[in-house]
């Protein structure tokens, strides 16, 4: 084998391993190891390497792979990266671990919630334990409230992620239980009814001053408690507080609210109840009664940990293990179910599967696979550090999975017609460049094709390659120069005069219309494809009669 052939081989191998870009200094050692005589004239070797690397890098990744196949060059498959190993749970025993998901049903699960869901699921599976789904559907605030459809949307998201729950509970079914334990706290002298204005109590807590309500007897508090339950107080007029030290170093922990009055409608129980628990009180009771052994939550909920531990201590209940992780956010993405709901109500968003909600439903609609979400979460691991990650990391995990399964098709978003001097006839194009066994798609090309207007303007008057057709001079009336495509030439995609109309919905909600090759009518709704030079997307709707497709864009 000549030195030029050896250099080309290693340039192709290096490029394919690194997403289409070979590096000169990465292959020189490989070449010398295979052809030691090359050391005699290093300057000549460097010139050859520079020339071959420039040539290889001028090719697309698909063309590099095809060239390697033509030269019978074997590309070593990347070694499978060891999956991220989560740390062991403290004091965990096989078949004894019980964990819970406690989503607040103000909307579906979104990509930010996926971390909580998947980490719990992974641990329960590791220890052959039980996973409970506890809808945290207390009444909420006037701004952030429970919505009826969220229950089914949450369960749908869990099912899609492959998360199996063993038991399902609703906090709204357990109000009488919370009332029972609230009364026990009053009888133990650990809780009291406070009728102070909110502003006054807030100021007292800040200064560490006990209010007059704190001095009431157990009997007085029990009577006021019954008055709360019987509707004798209006919303904001009375709350039940836990007695903690008003000198506690953390003002937020001083006499926190356990129960409050809310007269709003609830989607499951209507206005049956007027007194509702704060989340940490309901957690403290249910985590014990439901037999939870390990609680996985964000580190921003430390004050809730303190409240739970305080209540367990009062009742003499054993402490449950807490495991924390840091905040995970995405660059350029704001995750807010409340904001999403408002925009859905205002008809700005099309629904909970609108790509701008970042719900699991929206990701499914765009062509994300549940395993990609799981792999992403495990890659982030369990760390106390707050992390803001670029979306490309999430996209990369999905790309690994969908790239092998997504067949390729031509789509032109801003078509410019060019006429050819002769009819081309039937063109055969691989459905996927890496899997010849998958077959080829056939396209009949007459004397007219459509290219991207930008390509036409950038290469007008220049000789370019029309992919799988041949070399042409880019003009409105183009002449076919050769059916053999020069590997060094710029290659552009096209759509023949028999086409389908394509509408693409992008991640920011914007829409673009264009045309696509007629073979797109052979795909199925739900299929994930790659639109050459545009990116991956999921076929959402096909109208074969009108020859129209709706595609939701995933990522490049």
Residue 399 lies in a domain: no
SS3 (DSSP) at 120: helix
Query: 496 and 448 share a domain?
Result: yes
Contact between 475 and 481 under an 8 Å Cβ cutoff? The reply is no
Tokens of 147: 């919505």
Residue 429 lies in a domain: yes
Residue at a domain's end among 70, 92, 115: 70
- C-alpha 281/C-alpha 258 separation (Å) is 6
- C-alpha 61/C-alpha 247 separation (Å) is 66
**Taking 90 as the threshold, does the pLDDT of residue 434 lie above it?**
no
Query: 444 and 507 share a domain?
Result: yes
Residue 269 lies in a domain: yes
Query: 245 and 295 share a domain?
Result: no
Residue 79 lies in a domain: no
**Taking 80 as the threshold, does the pLDDT of residue 342 lie above it?**
yes
Residue 421 lies in a domain: yes
CA atoms within 13 A on the CB side of 68: 25
Q: What is the CATH number of the domain that holds 284?
A: 3.40.50.620
**Taking 50 as the threshold, does the pLDDT of residue 81 lie above it?**
no
**Taking 90 as the threshold, does the pLDDT of residue 140 lie above it?**
no
pLDDT score, position 65? 83
**Taking 60 as the threshold, does the pLDDT of residue 113 lie above it?**
yes
Specify the length of the chain in residues: 556
pTM assigned to the model: 0.83
Query: 216 and 365 share a domain?
Result: no
Query: 168 and 181 share a domain?
Result: no
pLDDT score, position 33? 83
Query: 413 and 527 share a domain?
Result: yes
**Taking 60 as the threshold, does the pLDDT of residue 78 lie above it?**
no
Mean pLDDT, rounded, for 284-313: 96
Structural domain of 445: 407-555
pLDDT score, position 60? 76
* Least confident range of 6-20, 409-423, 424-438: 6-20
- C-alpha 264/C-alpha 389 separation (Å) is 38
Query: 164 and 285 share a domain?
Result: yes
Mean pLDDT, rounded, for 171-193: 98
Tokens of 71: 């030269």
Residue 78 lies in a domain: no
Percentage of the chain exceeding pLDDT 70 = 98
Label residue 77 by pLDDT band (50, 70, 90): low
Residue at a domain's end among 394, 420, 443: 394
Q: What is the maximum span of the chain, computed from C-alpha positions, in angstroms?
A: 100
**Taking 80 as the threshold, does the pLDDT of residue 502 lie above it?**
yes
Closest CA to 412 of 322, 327, 321, 518: 518
Tokens 């409240």 sit on residue? 307
Q: What is the CATH number of the domain that holds 213?
A: 3.90.800.10
pLDDT score, position 82? 46
Residue at a domain's end among 216, 250, 277: 277
Residue 109 lies in a domain: yes
Q: What is the CATH number of the domain that holds 495?
A: 2.40.240.100
Residue 76 lies in a domain: no
| Distant-in-sequence, close-in-space partners of 97: CB < 8 Å, separation ≥ 6 | 89, 123, 124, 127, 128, 129, 130, 293, 294
* Least confident range of 36-45, 336-345, 508-517: 36-45
Q: What is the gyration radius of the CA atoms in the chain, in angstroms?
A: 32
Query: 314 and 269 share a domain?
Result: no
Query: 360 and 246 share a domain?
Result: no
**Taking 90 as the threshold, does the pLDDT of residue 181 lie above it?**
yes
Query: 524 and 429 share a domain?
Result: yes
- C-alpha 237/C-alpha 409 separation (Å) is 65
**Taking 70 as the threshold, does the pLDDT of residue 316 lie above it?**
yes
Query: 550 and 432 share a domain?
Result: yes
Tell me what percent of the chain is helix, strand and coil, each rounded to the nearest 5. 40, 25, 40
pLDDT score, position 23? 86
Structural domains in the chain (count): 4
Query: 243 and 271 share a domain?
Result: yes
Q: How would you classify the pairing of strands 511-517 and 499-505? A: antiparallel
* Least confident range of 74-88, 403-417, 457-471: 74-88
Mean pLDDT, all residues of the chain: 93
Query: What is the three-state SS of 424-454?
Result: CEEEEEECCCCCHHHCEEEEEECCEEEEEHH
């Amino acid at each position: 084998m000549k030195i030029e052939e050896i250099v080309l081989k290693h340039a192709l191998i290096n490029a394919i391993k690194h997403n289409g870009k070979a590096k000169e200094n990465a292959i020189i050692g490989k070449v010398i190891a295979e052809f030691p005589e090359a050391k005699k004239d290093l300057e000549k070797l460097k010139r050859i390497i520079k020339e071959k690397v420039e040539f290889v890098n001028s090719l697309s990744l698909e063309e590099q792979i095809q060239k390697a196949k033509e030269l019978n060059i074997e590309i070593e498959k990347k070694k499978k990266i060891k999956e991220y190993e989560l740390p062991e749970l403290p004091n965990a025993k096989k078949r004894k671990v019980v964990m819970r998901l406690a989503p607040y049903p103000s909307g579906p699960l979104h990509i930010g919630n996926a971390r909580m869901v998947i980490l719990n699921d992974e641990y329960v599976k590791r220890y052959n334990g039980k996973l409970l789904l506890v809808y945290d559907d207390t009444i909420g605030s006037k701004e952030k409230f429970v919505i009826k459809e969220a229950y089914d949307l949450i369960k749908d998201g869990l099912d899609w992620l492959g998360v199996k729950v063993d038991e399902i509970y609703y906090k709204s079914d357990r109000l009488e239980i919370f009332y029972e334990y609230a009364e026990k706290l009053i009888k133990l002298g650990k809780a009291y009814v406070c009728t102070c204005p909110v502003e006054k109590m807030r100021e007292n807590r800040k200064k560490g001053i006990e209010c007059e309500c704190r001095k009431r007897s157990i009997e007085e508090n029990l009577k006021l408690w019954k008055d709360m339950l019987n509707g004798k107080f209006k919303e904001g007029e009375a709350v039940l507080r836990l007695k903690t030290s008003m000198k506690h170093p953390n003002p937020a922990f001083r006499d926190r609210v356990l129960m409050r009055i809310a007269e709003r409608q609830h989607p499951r129980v209507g206005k049956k109840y007027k007194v509702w628990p704060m989340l940490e009180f309901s957690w403290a009771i249910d985590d014990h009664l439901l037999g939870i052994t390990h609680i996985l939550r964000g580190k921003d909920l430390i004050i809730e940990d303190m409240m739970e531990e305080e209540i367990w201590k009062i009742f003499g209940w054993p402490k449950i293990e807490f495991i924390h992780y840091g905040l995970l956010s995405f660059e350029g993405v704001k995750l807010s179910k409340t904001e999403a709901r408002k925009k859905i109500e205002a008809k700005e968003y099309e629904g909970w599967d609108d790509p701008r909600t970042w719900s699991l439903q929206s990701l499914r609609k765009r062509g994300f696979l549940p395993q990609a979400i799981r792999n992403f979460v495990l890659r982030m691991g369990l760390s106390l550090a707050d992390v803001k990650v670029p979306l490309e990391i999430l996209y990369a995990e999905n790309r690994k999975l969908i790239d092998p399964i997504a067949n390729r098709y031509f789509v032109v978003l801003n078509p410019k017609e060019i006429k050819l001097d002769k009819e081309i006839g039937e063109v055969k194009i691989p459905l996927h460049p890496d899997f010849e066994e998958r077959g080829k798609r056939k396209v009949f090309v007459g004397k007219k094709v459509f290219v991207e207007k930008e390509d036409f303007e950038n290469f007008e008057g220049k000789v370019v390659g029309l992919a799988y057709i041949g070399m042409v001079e880019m003009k409105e009336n183009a002449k076919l120069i050769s059916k053999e495509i020069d590997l060094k030439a710029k290659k552009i995609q096209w759509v023949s005069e028999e086409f389908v109309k394509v509408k693409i919905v992008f991640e920011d909600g914007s829409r673009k219309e264009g045309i696509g090759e007629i073979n797109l009518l052979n795909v199925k709704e739900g299929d994930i494809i790659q639109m050459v030079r545009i990116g991956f997307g999921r076929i959402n709707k096909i109208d074969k009669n009108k020859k129209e497709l709706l595609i939701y864009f995933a990522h490049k």
